[in-house]
Structure 1
Amino acid sequence: IMRDSVFNCCFLPPPPPGEVEILNRRPGKMAAPADKRFLIFFDFDETIVDECSDDVVVQAAPGQRLPGWLKDTYQPGHYNEYMQRVLAYMAEQGVTEQAVRSVIEKIPASPGILTLFQYLRTRTQDFEIVLVSDANMFFIETWLCRAGARQLFLKIFTNPASFNEDGRLLLGPYHAHNCPRCPENMCKQVVVRDYLARRIRERGRPYQHVFYVGDGANDFCPSLILGPRDTAFARRDYPMHKLIMEVQADFKATVVPWASGEDVVARLRRLVEEK
């Protein structure tokens, strides 16, 4: 995927455009966030879904392809800007919101991910679930709502995106940062680190374990701040897994390669049921 760099009790203000938060939409059904023992982060593209949503959306373009001149405008580290041009081109070609929504809804889930989601639904008292993705809010919410999984996620951190009155999907960067490993529009380590610090302050105590489920080079960066009690679930033989293997001697967290969400369920079940 081009977007992967080689390495690359108090009032809370409203979330930025690239964030959406759900706090106990079903009273009585979920423990208060402060009561959760575990925090689990998910990537989206090629982790929750089995393809890159930015690649899939091209299926809604005329001829299901982009012109060469447009593809040639991509520059490493500037994927978000490239996708802004792609979406503008699609709007100019008359691609509708419904056409975009339709192709995104049809992206298959990664193997075993729906089984993993079903397991997490049975343990809502234990897990605080957060999504961190360099895709965009429209794609993610479209797919999760179609899959009936939106309710699982307390918070989504991603690039803001929404259709304007002219029918154009407007995409923006999530934030600015100084990390040399990551694309200029998002460093997931910054997101994860800041979220962890804020939540530990709010809770008054750390989580028993923090988990990160991902696949890409931009998932390697946040996994570097996980500690010895935490677990990095890296999709087997994908960039995150390969990069972790290169620094394995210095990597602090437990590494669990996964080929199916069922691999993640097996490890989580053991930890959750430990006495």
Structure 2
Amino acid sequence: MAAVVVVFDFDKTIIDCDSDNWVIDEMGATQLFDQLLPTMPWNPLMDRMMSEFHSQGKTIEDIADCLRRAPLHPNIITAIKSAHALGCDLRIVSDANSFFIDTILKHHGLMDCFTEINTNPSYVDDEGKLRIFPFHDFTSSPHSPCPPNMCKGLVIERIRESVSAEGKKRFVYLGDGKGDFCPALRLGEGEYVMPRKNFPLWELIHNNPLLVKAEVHEWSDGEELERILLQLINTILVEENNSLISVDCNFHTIPISTHEPLPKALPVHH
């Protein structure tokens, strides 16, 4: 089984925008959204906005077309496909929603790369209206900076528990927002967190360095994300390979020339 579990946030990590804001802006509803935002939490507000779109005669296909135009850096596509090809267990933990994420991943041919997508549930009802619901009930994640509808730290703990029977796993977590700080704190030594530079997660880590046990590797764009992520995966795979050699040889040192060569460093796209 895969020794590496790579967990991605979605908004401003896989795609280069916030999917909620992208849809609201592209569908011409920014003013109404801004008027309603002070009156209700974000997650129920998105459900309300989908009802507004429906009442205006906008269809689920209109929303899907909008999502297919969301910006996604080509290097992130190749990074995801490369990590999947190397046998990594790829997962998403996102405060977007399942319809938005599934539509974008399918459009770019990435859906099959992911073992699991953890996000706010959504479905199209009998009237053709998109409904969006919270991932957690509003009493499950009362702590800051997690939003009330989703504590990503709890999700990471659940993922870690679910894969523990398969043997040792090392996590790489990529994200940008305040909600990504809680899962970053759940990572241990020998694991990695990749915050997007100058975004809220990066600022929280830099302001609280002693709280983070994982090794921190910042990134700014899709090209850096691909290069750094594949380097980290390669590092873990080489270390795991060396560990297996040591166990097989009863911890005696044997010249490398008598064994299969270690994996070469992965090619890096520039």
- For this structure pair, what is the TM-score category when the shorter chain's length is used for normalisation? 0.7 to 0.9
Aligned positions, number: 233
Question: Which of 268, 272, 275 is the equivalent residue of 2:233?
Answer: 268
* Bigger-Rg structure (1/2): 2
| Aligned-residue offset at 1:114 | 1.3
CA offsets per residue over residues 40-91 of structure 1, 9 Å max, x none? 1111000000011101112453xx23344x4222249821011111111111
CA–CA distance in 2 between the matches of 1:245 and 1:162?
38
CA–CA distance in 2 between the matches of 1:178 and 1:103?
31
Q: Which TM-score applies when normalising by structure 2?
A: 0.81
| Aligned-residue offset at 1:115 | 2.3
Q: Which TM-score applies when normalising by structure 1?
A: 0.80
Between the two proteins, what is the percent identity of the paired residues? 29
Answer 1 or 2: higher relative contact order, Cα 8 Å, separation at least 6: 1
Aligned counterparts, 1:35-54, within 5 A: 35-54=1-20
**Alignment RMSD:** 1.8
| Aligned-residue offset at 1:273 | 3.1
CA–CA distance in 1 between the matches of 2:198 and 2:205?
11
The amino acid across from 1:266 in the alignment is: Q
Aligned counterparts, 1:1-275, within 5 A: 35-61=1-27, 64-68=28-32, 70-75=33-38, 78-110=41-73, 112-124=75-87, 127-176=88-137, 177-181=140-144, 182-200=146-164, 202-203=165-166, 205-207=167-169, 209-259=170-220, 260-262=224-226, 263-274=228-239, 275=242
Instruction: Say if 1:76 and 1:266 are closer, same or farther in 2 by CA, change over 3 A.
Output: farther
Q: Which residue of 2 aligns with 1:31?
A: none
Deviates more, 1:96-105 or 1:258-267: 258-267
CA offsets per residue over residues 139-196 of structure 1, 9 Å max, x none? 0000001110000110111111111121210000111213311111100001111221
Structure 2: runs of 5+ lacking an equivalent: 243-270
Instruction: Decide whether the 8 Å contact of 2:4 with 2:233 is kept in 1.
Output: no
CA–CA distance in 2 between the matches of 1:226 and 1:104?
32
